[in-house]
Structure 1
């Protein structure tokens, strides 16, 4: 079942951080928590293509239990997206905009950055790479800091949850690539 495609944030909403695009080339900016998670998820071009499609069509997020609302059926630079977790009044909504995309021969992925209303400030990228030896790798790279009272209150728990979610995404893609 797919989510309705609605515009989750105004097209001109400003990013809530200055270092837009830092997950593409690095280095990650100072003053933020950094996340770097990489996982081998398969082998061969078919695994790479299946995983890349799952990343860029929001299927990876949805299969991992995240609700996604996006105007575009796949990640496009400038496209607004709302990511949410939880249920009912405990659902946390996180408005974002796609900062960059990579649709290359051996690299597929994107990054989104936070918009007003997101519980964090920063950027997160999701990339699938096909290496020369035929192995397929998934990488999550992010920098963030609290933007709301409840993420400040959660303190050291937030990075633990972010890492656990990155691991979950990797396992999800491993099943997709199999």
Structure 2
């Protein structure tokens, strides 16, 4: 298992990593609206590996029409969760540095602490701002990462992208987020924030599954 977390993010929100919370939809960070959507994208080890590579190399964003530029890699220091004995006694934890890995086009895989600039349009919605990767998870049957907003966004919050290889051999892609308006436009028209969130998530899902259909209007 490889698991990494960046310890000191200058993100513009406090609940760093909250997209990992099982009860995010019921209890989002105060003032934030949560969102989650999933789609089955195939089955088998090869599909899981290919989808995981797409997520960890930013490809899923690029396929969704978003330009990822000015990538600055983070330290990639891996965090090993606390281990417990059978009686529940904590056994401690340690850290190790992950090796550099690259996608087939030479793009370095995402590591915790990596920063990037996102830009482009998805439907009628613009995307522009700095983000920082706040965690990366690589388990044998689940791969995920999340980034948080840093500056220049009309919204504040966190998005996560996860690939899961389930016990029935199916492979699922899940997008989760929690957001709140920062710009005046979304503060005045808050209902458009959720519509934007749905449109972006649908585009991400469609990036890994062209058959995905959405009735979300632009």
TM-score range, shorter chain: 0.7 to 0.9
CA deviation profile, 1:133-160 (whole Å, cap 9, x unmatched): 1100011111010111233234211211
Residue from 18, 21, 32 that aligns with 1:22: 18
In the alignment, structure 1 segments of 5+ residues that lack a partner are: 1-11
Taking structure 1 as the reference length, the TM-score comes to 0.83
Describe how 1:1-178 pairs up with structure 2 within 5 A. 14-28=10-24, 29-69=29-69, 70-72=71-73, 73-86=108-121, 92-175=127-210
Distance in 2 of aligned mates of 1:153 and 1:92: 19
Deviations 1:63-92 (A, max 9, x none): 1111111224222111111111239xx964
Contact 2:66 2:127 in 1 (8 A): no
- Render the CA deviation track for 1:113-141: whole Å, top value 9, x for unaligned: 11122221111100000001110001111
Structure 2 unaligned spans of 5+: 1-7, 74-107, 211-218
State which structure, 1 or 2, has the greater radius of gyration over its C-alpha atoms.
2
TM-score scaled by length of structure 2: 0.69
Instruction: Give the CA deviation at 1:30.
Output: 3.0
Number of residues of Structure 1 aligned to a counterpart in Structure 2: 162
| Structure with the bigger percentage of strand | 2
More helix, by proportion: 1
